[in-house]
Structure 1
Amino acid sequence: MLLGCIADDFTGASDLANTLAKGGMSTIQFVGVPKGTAQARCEAGVVALKTRSIAAADAVAQSLTALRWLETQGCRQFLFKYCSTFDSTPRGNIGPVAEALLQALPASVAVVCPVFPATGRTLFMGHLFVKDRLLSESGMENHPLNPMTDPDLRRWLRLQTKGEVGFVPHSIVRQGGEAVRAALDAEAKAGRRLVVVDAIEDADLLAIGAAVADQPLVTGGSGIALGLPENFRKAGMLSNAGSTYKPGKGPGIVLSGSCSSASQAQLAHYLLTHPGLALDPDALMAGSQKVTDAALFVRDHLDDAPAVYSTASPAKVAKSQEKFGRQELAEKIEHFFGALAAALVDEGVARIAVGGGETSGAVVTALKTESLIVGPEIDPGVPALAASGDRRVHLALKSGNFGALDFYDKALHALGEA
């Protein structure tokens, strides 16, 4: 294994795996930290954790465990992957995990760059944009778990870290890899080990990738990996073996837990032509809406690829969170989706398109999937995946804001046929 990656959620892991596979690296996504040795042909290993919304100390511990396993696989470089919208709170764990990885390797400096231009995530003057909106005006300020109210990543990250945060502006990035490398060295010498780096297009990410070729640690969204395969290719280390993914066959369903504006539109579009069952927070918390009821609904509509969803407007979500508690409600919904997915796969469901990072994590964990083979890209950042383990199922794990309006229909088609 050449590149060892630690992702803070499951959709982010598949997003990163997609980028690396498209770049020509033989890529495997692992569900949690594996117990054994990786497949011999694995050039990039992505360990998918579920740490995005947990306490910093727990996230650090899990990330260091993943790092130790990746080190035993012979990795030459490591990547800490977080969301392209930098999902975290002022007490979040992106900063603590990055600092812990710097210390453990050890590494003198690491870039911080969540940019993903293909989905409209750009960084300019240290401020993160979603398309033409500042992060704090993009809808992310209403995120149910990690509301993002400040687009200045230097300021946000400083709230989470012990050390000062560095910065490389776009005026330097556009000069190319050598200029970026020199700027990073200067920041490291000044004691600023985590360095926010501007990028507004893929060419910037390629320049940053070239600049970090010899650095032990890289941090960012999946876009930061665009230039990394080329570094290994230039060194003659890639086999160019390609993916072993094959489409599946069998019934398909949609599980949507994301409440992002994109997910709301995608679900509404899907429900125009497919049946759907909404989770009722009151009934769910009271125990009167059961997994068996949802499974019965799916069975009755299986020929029409039904959807089961908790997706709702920010106002409805806020009302339910106030009534039941943010964490309590989230855990109940995640457990429901996980149990439902496991039950349905046991009954023959073979294709599942999942919307939302927390929901995806719950589903993959419940399925006891060990690793995922990366297939073709469905939409930017979202590949088709084939699961290993006892339950053979094909999955699409979509981050809430990713995907075109018709994503769910495209996803089920990409995963195989009924």
Structure 2
Amino acid sequence: MIGIIADDVTGGTDVAVACRRQGLRTGIVFGEPRDHSIDPTWDVGVVALKTRTIPAADAVAQSLTAARALQAQGADQLYLKYCSTFDSTADGNIGPVLEALASLVDARRVVTTPSSPEHGRTVSGGQLLVNGVPLAESPMRDHPLTPMRDSDLVRLLDRQLTAPSSRVLPLELVHAGADALRSAIADSAHDARYLFPDAVTDDDLLAIARAAVHEPLLAGAAGLAGALARAVVESRPSTEHPTPPADDTGRTIVLAGSCSRRTLEQIDAMRNAGRPMHRLDALADQDPTALAARALAWYDALDRDAPAPLIYASLPPEELQEVQEQLGVERSAAILEDAISQVAQGVRERGVSCFITAGGETSGAVIAALAVRGGEIGAEAARGVPWIHGHDGARFLLKSGNFGDPELLVRASEGSGS
């Protein structure tokens, strides 16, 4: 088993489907694993935590717990999945968690890259580019929770380590072939523990994965994880694992909290499709319980035959800024997450069994509120956005803020009652 520890929920689903796409049977567990939540027959087991922005010590403790649980169920290789924009808090948490996992498995070197070409993330000369633009000049520069003001991966990671220990492996070395790259990786262990190979195409990622396929610990975005899954499949007999069948029964709801440009476009598409919509307004009421009660009363008044509705807290940049200026970034986020959590619980009690969520924090809040332990990865509704078949019969589509085409929320929720 490849054991993957992801630092947020939608990152967990993204990496899980990257492995499932290569034909590996893949399951996901939300939060710290409990007894029997990891199926030892999985080829890939993903533990999706919510550690990206919590205190570093807590992120390390939770990640180590997940890693040991995966090892106990047969994982002989670990992978730390972080965001393809390398975002974290100023003091972590990628570096501290990497150091802890490397010590756990006694890894003398760790190959890592946030490159994910299909999502527009590439690495050249050790610089992380977003759609060809340096990270620090991209929209991530002013991310409300994790602003990114540097594009140099070595600098970014070394600031999070107890001592600088990172270096770049240039693109010409990646292009030299798996054997040359494997030798360079082994030699690099003498002067650096964490290695950032350049990668601008999926072929580059596959070359890296082939060279590092037997390393005890790797780290990166979903791009390298998918390439690793392919390299593993190449090295062993093929086994077909059918995708769990879709279940279109039950009521559906869409819950959105992301303020990314793509999610805002998807909300506009829901509006243009005439979908019932209700906004959670933190300026109007700072009591999350009252906000949730108002939303649930609105939901109860809908015709049962109405198309799947949307309850959202997403705002365009200027309105988001106004809310954050009046309430503060952390307080406004906490109010809305709490309200969405209560809404999720309320509609589940009312018979909703299909949840479509937009935003990593939103998805994490919903999964936690419903105490979802995990499930098996099914078909993709969009690239990197799979359906998850929960152990209790519920279905989930957990969408990272920037993922999917503008019509994704409309398309994914079509044909289901409210």
TM-score category by the smaller chain?
over 0.9
One-letter amino acid matched to 1:21:
R
Give the drift of 1:33: 2.5
1:119 and 1:380 in contact (8 A); partners too:
no
Q: Deviations 1:226-272 (Å, cap 9, x if unpaired)? A: 22223433443663233334323122221111111111122122211
1:226-375 aligned at under 5 Å gives the runs 226-236=226-236, 239-273=239-273, 274-286=275-287, 289-301=290-302, 303-375=306-378
2:410 corresponds in structure 1 to 409
Q: Please list, as runs of the form range in 1=range in 2, the aligned pairs for 1:195-210 lying within 5 A after superposition.
A: 195-210=195-210
Give the distance between the partners of 1:11 and 1:155, measured in 2 at CA: 26
Q: Equivalent residues in 2 for 1:183-222 (5 A)? A: 183-190=184-191, 192-222=192-222
1:89 maps to what in 2?
89
Contact residue 280 and residue 291 of structure 2 kept, 8 A: no
Q: CA deviation at 1:324?
A: 2.1
Aligned residues: 412
Q: Secondary structure at the match of 1:290?
A: helix
* CA drift at 1:73: 1.0
Q: Secondary structure at the match of 1:249?
A: coil
Structure 1 match to 2:74: 74
1:125 to 1:349, Cα distance in 2 relative to 1, 3 A: same
* Secondary structure class of the residue paired with 2:265: helix
The CA deviation string for residues 72-96 of structure 1, in whole angstroms up to 9 with x for no partner, is: 1121211000111112132120111
Task: Give the 3-state SS of the residue equivalent to 1:50 in structure 2.
Answer: coil
Aligned pairs for 1:158-173 (under 5 A) are 158-162=158-162, 163-173=164-174
The 3-state SS of whatever aligns with 1:227 is helix
Aligned position for 1:30: 29
Q: Which runs of 5+ in 2 are unaligned?
A: none
Is the contact between residue 245 and residue 373 of structure 1 (CA under 8 Å) also seen in structure 2? no
Q: Which amino acid aligns with 1:196?
A: F
AA matched with 2:9? F
Are the structure 2 counterparts of residues 164 and 35 from structure 1 closer, same or farther at C-alpha, using a change threshold of 3 Å?
same
Deviations, residues 181-200 of structure 1 (Å, cap 9, x unaligned): 2222232111x111122111
What RMSD, in angstroms, separates the aligned Cα atoms of the two structures? 1.8
Q: 1:241 is matched by which residue type in structure 2?
A: H
**Maintained 8 Å contact 1:123/1:198:** yes
Tell me, in whole angstroms, the C-alpha distance in 1 between the residues paired with 2:167 and 2:82.
18
Aligned equivalents of 2:14 and 2:245: distance in 1? 16
* Percent of pairs with identical residues: 37
Conservation of the 8 A alpha-carbon contact between 1:142 and 1:314: no
Within 2, Cα distance between the matches of 1:79 and 1:62? 15
Give 3-state SS (helix, strand or coil) of 1:282's partner: coil
Distance change in 2, residues 1:261/1:71 (3 Å) = same
- Tell me if the contact between 2:295 and 2:343 (Cα under 8 Å) persists in the aligned partners: yes
TM value normalised by structure 1: 0.94
Contact 1:85 1:121 in 2 (8 A): yes
Tell me the residue number matched to 1:20. Answer: 19
SS in structure 1 of the partner of residue 123 of structure 2: strand
Aligned residue type for 1:333: L
- On the 8 A contact 2:102/2:217 being kept in 1, the answer is yes
Helix, strand or coil: the match of 1:144?
coil
Q: Do the aligned partners of residues 95 and 207 (structure 1) sit closer, same or farther apart at CA in structure 2, a change above 3 Å counting?
A: same
Residue 134 of structure 1 deviates from its aligned partner by: 2.2
Secondary structure of residue in 1 paired with 2:284: helix
- What TM-score do the two structures reach when normalised by structure 2? 0.94
Letter in 2 for 1:263: T
Query: Helix, strand or coil for the counterpart of 1:264?
Result: helix
Contact 1:280–1:289 under 8 Å retained in 2:
no
SS for the counterpart of 1:28 is: strand
Q: CA deviation at 1:133?
A: 2.3
Does the 8 Å CA contact 1:124/1:199 hold for their aligned counterparts?
Answer: yes
Structure 1 unaligned regions, length at least 5: none
Deviations, residues 64-122 of structure 1 (Å, cap 9, x unaligned): 01111111112121100011111213212011111111111110111221121112111
Distance 2:257 2:176 in 1: 42
Displacement of 1:289 in angstroms is 4.2
Q: Work out the CA distance in 2 between the residues paired with 1:80 and 1:245.
A: 29
* Cα distance change, pair 66–288 in 1 and its aligned pair in 2 (3 A): closer
CA contact (8 A) 2:82 2:114 kept: yes
Q: Does the Cα contact within 8 Å between 1:139 and 1:260 map onto a contact in 2?
A: no
Structure 1 letter corresponding to 2:12: A
User: Could you say what secondary structure the match of 1:298 adopts?
Assistant: helix
